[in-house]
Structures are given as structure tokens and as C-alpha cells.
Structure 1
Amino acid sequence: MKLQTILIDDEPLGLRILADDLQQVPTIQLIGQYTRPFEGLELLQQGKVDLLFLDIQMPTLLGTDFLRSLAQPPMVIFTTAYEHYALEGFELNAIDYLLKPIRLDRLLRACNKAYEHHSLKQKGDAAMQADTFFFVKTEYKEAKIYHSDVLYIEGLKDYVKIYLDSQPGKPVLTRMNVKTMEARLDPNRFCRVHQSYIVPVSRITAFHKTQILLGGKVIPVGERFADQFLATYRNR
């Protein structure tokens, strides 16, 4: 597997040097080199790019602003002569941040990091495709929720919050009560343990009569749900 890669840098000499160095990296397949950001836009929009080497300080448009304009950006490695963009670069989830002139050993480390990240994502995507899922309405759209991604579910009157491993701190809120949510889940994988909580049994790290531990999260066990929970947990 090679990473389909494009380069964007307004300096032709720097672009050529980077391209020559990347030709030596076995995991990189160069498919485009551009001196203006929007020249590579078609390939990016078609989803044909795995990795983008992007200069930041360009006369027509900052590389950071160009990245923000992309609806589905690929992995990005910033290349720049200026250190002060580093924080902004990493806030944009850049794989790496290379200062010019770029040493070959430093370039290799960045490429290896991108390759490892891509490999892990592919494995995760394959696992997600094999996983079961359900849909819920949220924010005027149907959201696809994989069962293996659910950390726990919390009821709030006529709504439930679905906490996900893939987006910590950003639960999915949907208009549905806990009983309706419970009916949509596999009873061998999920258990209602409280009037307001449903948990995936596989994520339980410890429990006693009144509480369950999901990693560092404490979930209360309601008295009328305790026997059913224990039966489900012990019969797995």
C-alpha cells in the first residue's frame, strides 16, 4: 500500500526538492505537485488523496485557511519556514509540522507517522463495516451509530444522550425515551441498569450492587434493575 500524495508549495525550487526526496520513500506515491493551492482541489474533492504536504505561507492563501476550506481533508503534513504556525497546525489535526529546510530523516519520520495513522484508520474502518449499527434522528439528520462505538446511554425525560468512543465529550442527542432506545438494542450486548442509563456489557470494568464502573465513569444501578443486570452479566 502506498499513500496517494500531493504537494502544494508556492516555491518551485522547494517543491522540486521535496518531490525528489519523497521519491525515495517507498510508502509514498506522488500524484500531483502544485504551486497554487486550488490547482490540487479537484483531486482533493474527488477523495483521491491520502496525504497532502502543504506549505503555509503562500501569497494567494494561507495553507491553514486552505485546509479549513476542505469539506473532507486528507492527512496533512505542513511544510513551512515559520515556527509560529505550529500550534495552529496541530489544532487542525496535522499529522506533522516540518520546518524548512527539511532534513531527509525528519521527512521519513513524518511519512512513517502518516503511514501508521492511515493503516490504523483502515483497520478501524474495516472493523466498523463488520459491526452492527442503528440510526437515530439528530440535528435534522439520520446519524449512523455503531453498537461497538457506544460508551453508554443516558436518558433525559423525552431525550437520550448517546456517548460515543469516537467523539468524546460530544454525545449524540436524540428525541427518544430510554424504553424506546432499549428496545432497539441487542439485549445480549446492552443492559438497562437504571431508570436513566443503558450500558454496553463489554465495557464494564467493575461493579457492585449499586454502581457500575465503565473505565473512569461511574453509573448508578437502580434497585429494580439490579437482578436483571446481574443475570445478563453473569450469563455472557
Structure 2
Amino acid sequence: MMKCMVVDDEPLARELIEDNIRLIPFLELVASCKNVEEALTVMVDQEIDLIFMDIQMPGLTGIEWLKGGLIHQPMVIMVTAYEHYALEGFNLNVLDYLVKPVAFDRFLKAATKAMELYVLKHKHKQPAFVENQEQNSLFVNSDYSLVRINMDNITHIEGLKDYIKIYQLNADRPIIPRLSLHYMEDKLPSSNFMRIHRSYIVALDKIISVKKNRLYLPDGDIPFTDNYRTELMEYIGQRS
């Protein structure tokens, strides 16, 4: 979740931005300030990820503040009535430029752009996979949230190009984190999970039956290849 701050001298404009932030689940409103001086005070104690900032304000303007440099270098989205500052804003590495009055769908698009950049910057600091072996569970990053998954509920995992799909018992849809199948293969306990295809890992205790080159599971069937047949049949033979 990104920590956000609003900086605008107009009370109504601040309230509208605050309301929009509260409607977006991956944004957290930390402070709302009427000028740059108040914002600087907040940033002494708080690390802000994203600022929604007006340009024309009493005292130090938004543009002047950006030219002087920002503490912690947060991302900035300009929200202003003045279109002609757009080019100058982008030259100062402003992430997006919204012209008042801002429709919510446009606001959401700008916030999503910020979140995508935030995730990219923090992907090495906040791992997409967190083990919790004591409780036989794991956490994965999906839809900008850490989602807890009980490993006993996993039936199989499908590998895509840059993502995986984690299928679970009695779940309406799979969890889709940005991870590789190879990474998951290394992390999951080999006692109950086996790679059976270049695109699939199966939970061995969820196999109902085997027919030709397909495994039948509670939520459907998946293929396996001859490369993995011997190891798979050895497992099934040990339990027959």
C-alpha cells in the first residue's frame, strides 16, 4: 500500500482528492496539507510514497518545490487547473498531470500508474513470496496485496510467461502472483509437490486418478509429460 499526501490550498479540492484516495484500496492517505510548508513538516517524520499536488499555492509553489528537490524523492502527480504547466511538470519528472475537475476514472488511471512503478521499485525489498512453515502457509503478492495461501489447499500451479496461477480447493478463481514456476518449485516442499510438466506443478495428495498422460484432480485435469512419468509413477506405486 502506498502512503499518500495531498498538497492543495483549496479546501474543496483537497476534500475531493481525499475522497478519491479513500476509494482506491492500494492508497493510504497519510496527510492533507494546505501549503508546501505544512507538507515539509509532515515529511520530516513520515516517508511519503506519492504526493497529489497543486501548482499555484501561496508561498512556495509546487513547481518551485519540485525544482528545489524533495525529501525521500516521492512520486508526484500534479492536480491543477492550469494546463500550461504540464510540459514543465513532466520535465521535472512528474508522474502524471491531472487537470481539474478530474474524473475518477482518470484519477484511478494515474494512481494505478504510480502503483505499478511502486511495485517495480520495491519488488526486491518486498518479496513476492513469504513462507510461514509453522502454519504450513505462504503469502504471495497479488492485486497489490499480500494474500495468504494454505499449502494444504493447493491442487496445482500453472506457469505462464511472467506469472503463475495457484489453484486451490473450493476457490472460485486462481491466485495470480508475478512469480516463476521454477521459483515456486524451489520453495514448495518436495514431499508433496512435484513438477510434472514444463507448465505445471501438482500437489501429489490431490491426485484422484491417472489416465494416459493426464492427472485428474478435484478441480479438473492437467497434462504430464513422459520426462516426469517415472518419478510420478514411483510416487503412485509407493502409495498403492
Residues of 2 paired with 1:78 and 1:36: CA distance? Answer: 14
Identify the residue that residue 80 of structure 2 maps to in structure 1. 80
Displacement of 1:42: 2.8
**Equivalent residue letter for 1:23:** R
**Equivalent residue letter for 2:97:** Y
Displacement of 1:43: 3.0
Residues of 2 paired with 1:41 and 1:116: CA distance? Answer: 26
Residues of 2 paired with 1:34 and 1:57: CA distance? Answer: 14
Q: How does 1:67-106 map to 2 (within 5 A)?
A: 67-69=66-68, 70-106=70-106
Query: What whole-Å deviation, never above 9, does each CA across 1:27-74 have from its counterpart, x for those lacking one?
Result: 110010011111021332445100001100112221011123324320
Displacement of 1:126: 7.1
- Which of 103-112 and 14-23 deviates more? 14-23
**Equivalent residue letter for 1:52:** I
Which aligned segments of 4 or more residues in structure 1 are displaced greater than 4 angstroms? 124-127
Is residue 50 from structure 1 mapped to residue 49 from structure 2 by the alignment? yes
**Equivalent residue letter for 2:82:** Y
Displacement of 1:95: 1.0
Residues of 1 paired with 2:35 and 2:94: CA distance? Answer: 20
Q: Secondary structure at the match of 2:72?
A: coil
Residues of 2 paired with 1:9 and 1:71: CA distance? Answer: 18
Displacement of 1:92: 1.0
> What RMSD, in angstroms, separates the aligned Cα atoms of the two structures?
1.7
Q: Contact 1:78–1:96 at 8 Å: present in 2 too?
A: yes
Identify the residue that residue 222 of structure 2 maps to in structure 1. none
Identify the residue that residue 39 of structure 1 maps to in structure 2. 38
Displacement of 1:6: 0.5
Identify the residue that residue 116 of structure 2 maps to in structure 1. 116
Identify the residue that residue 172 of structure 2 maps to in structure 1. none
Query: What whole-Å deviation, never above 9, does each CA across 1:68-112 have from its counterpart, x for those lacking one?
Result: 332432000011101110011111111110000010000000000
Identify the residue that residue 19 of structure 2 maps to in structure 1. 20
Q: Contact 2:3–2:27 at 8 Å: present in 1 too?
A: yes
Aligned length: 126
**Equivalent residue letter for 1:106:** R
Residues of 1 paired with 2:44 and 2:66: CA distance? Answer: 12
Residues of 2 paired with 1:124 and 1:100: CA distance? Answer: 36
TM-score, normalising length: structure 2: 0.50
Identify the residue that residue 60 of structure 1 maps to in structure 2. 59
Query: What whole-Å deviation, never above 9, does each CA across 1:134-172 have from its counterpart, x for those lacking one?
Result: xxxxxxxxxxxxxxxxxxxxxxxxxxxxxxxxxxxxxxx
Q: Contact 2:35–2:58 at 8 Å: present in 1 too?
A: no
Residues of 2 paired with 1:59 and 1:118: CA distance? Answer: 30
Q: Secondary structure at the match of 1:4?
A: strand
Q: Percent identity?
A: 43
Displacement of 1:125: 5.8
Q: Contact 1:37–1:61 at 8 Å: present in 2 too?
A: yes
Q: Secondary structure at the match of 2:123?
A: helix
Displacement of 1:123: 2.1
Residues of 2 paired with 1:34 and 1:43: CA distance? Answer: 9
Q: Secondary structure at the match of 1:61?
A: coil
Identify the residue that residue 177 of structure 2 maps to in structure 1. none
Q: How does 1:133-144 map to 2 (within 5 A)?
A: none
Flag structure 1 segments of 5+ consecutive residues without an equivalent.
128-236
Flag structure 2 segments of 5+ consecutive residues without an equivalent.
128-240
| Compared CA separation, residues 126 and 28, structure 1 to 2 (3 A) | closer
- Which of 108-117 and 19-28 deviates more? 19-28
Displacement of 1:124: 5.4
**Equivalent residue letter for 2:53:** L
Displacement of 1:5: 0.3
